[in-house]
Amino acid sequence: MKGLFLFLFLFSAALTGCQTTVAVEVDDSDIIKPATPVGLPIALLSKAKDVRDGQGIDQVGRHTISLLMIPGPTVTTERQHLDDAIASGVKQVLTKAGYEVTTVERISDGKGPVLVAQIDDLRNYLFSWMYPLGIVWGKMELSLHLMSPDGKELWTANADGSGGIMASLLYMSGFETRVQGDLKDNLNQIGVIVTSDQFKGVLTKAQAGR
């Protein structure tokens, strides 16, 4: 029994030197540009709303130890907080789609409808029992909510989401590859949503006060 506890202690200590932060961002070249720019103004909340249960602030993943999945070190964002990073990604999509984007700190600051990005699910786990080869499983689901300045939801849509499983050698790149790949998929799905005739119609009517 003492040997098992010693193994788990040493293994956990080794993991503390492994990947614990990732950049939650994508290159602009990975965002699909629509054939026809939208050319409409839009207000975007500067921070995404995080509605996940049981996840810490900025947490995007967690190491696990052994087949028992004993929790190890968490993986968080670097350079930006998670709510800032997701909102920045959505702004990146809107700008590339041809929107004239302004950001607001609060929904009530909007002079018209405000688009809010929401983190519905974002989690990643590294299974370390095959050391030095790890297995990373993860998923990300984002949604959009068009809100009136007084907090009334005018429209909502969910991205299809993205997730999967992949290998991570020596724990050095799996989390970042998983998170950035899922983010790219979600952002391009959002690009399809915000360039749809349905969304443009709802936005135009809301901006006109109808």
On the question of pLDDT at 63 being above 90, the answer is no
Q: What is the pLDDT of residue 73?
A: 84
Give 71's Cβ-side CA count (13 Å radius). Answer: 6
The answer to whether 184 touches 161, Cβ cutoff 8 Å, is no
**Entry pTM:** 0.88
Q: What is the mean pLDDT of the segment spanning 122-150? A: 88
d(CA 39, CA 82): 28
Percent of the chain at pLDDT exceeding 90: 70
Model confidence band, residue 131 (pLDDT cutoffs 50, 70, 90):
low
Model confidence band, residue 55 (pLDDT cutoffs 50, 70, 90):
confident
Which DSSP symbol is given to 135?
E
Which domains occur in the chain, in start order? 38-123+139-161+182-207 (3.40.50)
Query: Which residue's structure tokens are 């984007």?
Result: 101
The answer to whether 62 touches 16, Cβ cutoff 8 Å, is no
Residues contacting residue 14 through CB under 8 Å, at least 6 positions apart: none
